[in-house]
Amino acid sequence: MTKKKVGLGKLLCALALLTSLSAPALAQATRTWVSGVGDDVNPCSRTAPCKTFAGAISKTADGGEISVLDPGGFGAVTITKSITISGDGTLASILASGVNGVLVNCISLPACVVTLRSLSIEGAGTGINGVRFLAGGRLHLERVTIAGFTGHGIDFEPSTSAAFHVRDVAIRESDTGAVLVKPSGTASATGTIERTVMDNNGRGLRVEDRSVVHVRDSRAASNVANGFVALAQAGGALSLTLDRVLSVSNGATGVYAGALATVLLSDSTIARNKDGLQAVGGGSIVSDGNNRVFGNTNSNGTPSSMLVPM
């Protein structure tokens, strides 16, 4: 073999090595795009978008954003890194028949932050949970509609301590309940729910075990069972603050506090439920004195204690 051929062979090998090293980097973009007429073999750029969130997420860098170009259904997705999925400016939906709509499981990146914005997540009566959070740092839901699941609209069960923020969300027709907050093991959960509607589900909000949750300007109405529930199942005190909420026309209790749970009730209306207020097993409902509890079928109930004016 001549020296010229040997040199050419070395050059080709070097180019192949550089290509193989740069391919993963090129495949990870800070911002990617999906479209109803896209294709998951595309690079998910704005001019060559992908078709599904699952296809785009593998081509989106940690901390990046998937945006939606036009109306469409973009499929269920499992998230294992920090990412934002945004449907701002269009109609972006996830149809999740028989599966979870969005599963967040950042086991290898426990500090990951996941944001879901301007999405419609539909279970079609057979989906399991709308959004299920098992591991990560923080979950943000903004302007999201969730409906038609056999489990929960939002199932927040972190294995390590985590936080969530839910704002301008509507959850309907979820058979087990709208929102479950239930950290596992020794983990804890903190969260806020604002301007959120939880109607016609198995129940509204259920908070358990080592959780601190604040709900403001929200509603739980016409659920099969309780509107708002706080209790410890596996130990660990918890706190639920209800500020300017409605709990109305639910089939069981409007506000229920069980073992090791403290519910602070402020400027809220609890009406036309089977029972109004119930505190059992060492739980307590603390009122600031400006709530309206009336018209509940069995009993309106009374707070465990009143706040002392400062």
Query: Sign (positive/negative) of CA torsion 68, 74, 76, 79?
Result: negative
pLDDT number for residue 310: 63
Tell me the whole-structure pTM to 2 decimals: 0.91
CA distance 21 to 128: 40
pLDDT number for residue 234: 82
pLDDT number for residue 11: 45
Domain range 29-195, its CATH number among 3.20.19.10, 2.60.40.1180, 2.160.20.10, 3.40.50.300: 2.160.20.10
**Beta bridge partner(s), residue 133:** 104, 156
Residue ranges, the chain, pLDDT below 50: 1-6, 8, 11-25
Enumerate the domain spans of the chain: 29-195, 203-310
